[in-house]
Each structure stands twice: as structure tokens, then as C-alpha cells.
């Protein structure tokens, strides 16, 4: 699946839109056959106001595509799990968040 070009939802009196947000990372990558991962893909976005959300698209009958707001901590956790080689660099995706050596 390709990243959605139009997906907007109002949640908690806040508008989340892929048209105005920055795509940070996703689990969509070409494996030689397709982009789908078990019939689902996730995209992580950051709004111009600094809010984070995911768009989750599915190909499964009975499931719906979703847009889910995330806290910054949840967005960081998802960013680390997605392991996207084309992802926005961590410092740009999460400005002001300090990364320390282990």
C-alpha cells in the first residue's frame, strides 16, 4: 500500500490530516512482491503543531482504516519499532528530545 494522500479526522476537537502533516516513518517497504505487511500498513505523522498520529490501512474485510493520535512517548516507541530506512531522522521527527549513549 502507498501512504494515504487524503485522510483527515477530527478527534478531541483537533484536526489531524495527512495533507498538512509530515510523514515520519512507516512499515511499507517493497519486499520483491508487495508493500503489505500481513494485509496492514502503518504510517507515523507529525502535525505542524507538533502532535503525532498514525494512519493504519487494512486490506482485511471487516476491518476499518484508522487514524489514531499518539503521545510523543508512544510515537517514539512506534518510530523505533518501525525501523524504516527512509524515516525522517530522529532529531527532526522529535525536536528537543535528547538521545543519550547507552
DSSP one-letter string for 9-35: EEETTEEEETTTSEEEEES----SS-S
Considering the domain boundaries, does residue 89 fall inside one? Answer: no
**Count of domains in the chain?**
1
Each residue's pLDDT tens digit, 24-35: 999 876 555 555
Expressed as residue numbers, the domain containing 49 is 8-82
Task: Copy the grid coordinates of residue 100.
Answer: 543519550
Considering the domain boundaries, does residue 88 fall inside one? Answer: no
Of residues 59, 55, 36, the one with CA closest to residue 44: 55
Indicate whether 88 pLDDT > 90.
Answer: yes
Considering the domain boundaries, does residue 2 fall inside one? Answer: no
Each residue's pLDDT tens digit, 37-50: 567 889 999 999 99
Considering the domain boundaries, does residue 93 fall inside one? Answer: no
Task: Report pTM.
Answer: 0.84
Amino acid at each position: 500500500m502507498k501512504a494515504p494522500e487524503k485522510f483527515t479526522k477530527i478527534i478531541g476537537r483537533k484536526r489531524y490530516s495527512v495533507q498538512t502533516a509530515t510523514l515520519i516513518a512507516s512499515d511499507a517497504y517493497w519486499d520483491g512482491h508487495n508493500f503489505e505487511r500481513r494485509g496492514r500498513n502503518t504510517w507515523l505523522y507529525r502535525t505542524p503543531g507538533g502532535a503525532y498520529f498514525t494512519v493504519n490501512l487494512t486490506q482485511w474485510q471487516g476491518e476499518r482504516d484508522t487514524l489514531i493520535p499518539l503521545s510523543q512517548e508512544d510515537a517514539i516507541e512506534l518510530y523505533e519499532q518501525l525501523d524504516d530506512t527512509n524515516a525522517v531522522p530522529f532529531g527532526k521527527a522529535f525536536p528537543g528530545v535528547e538521545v543519550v549513549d547507552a
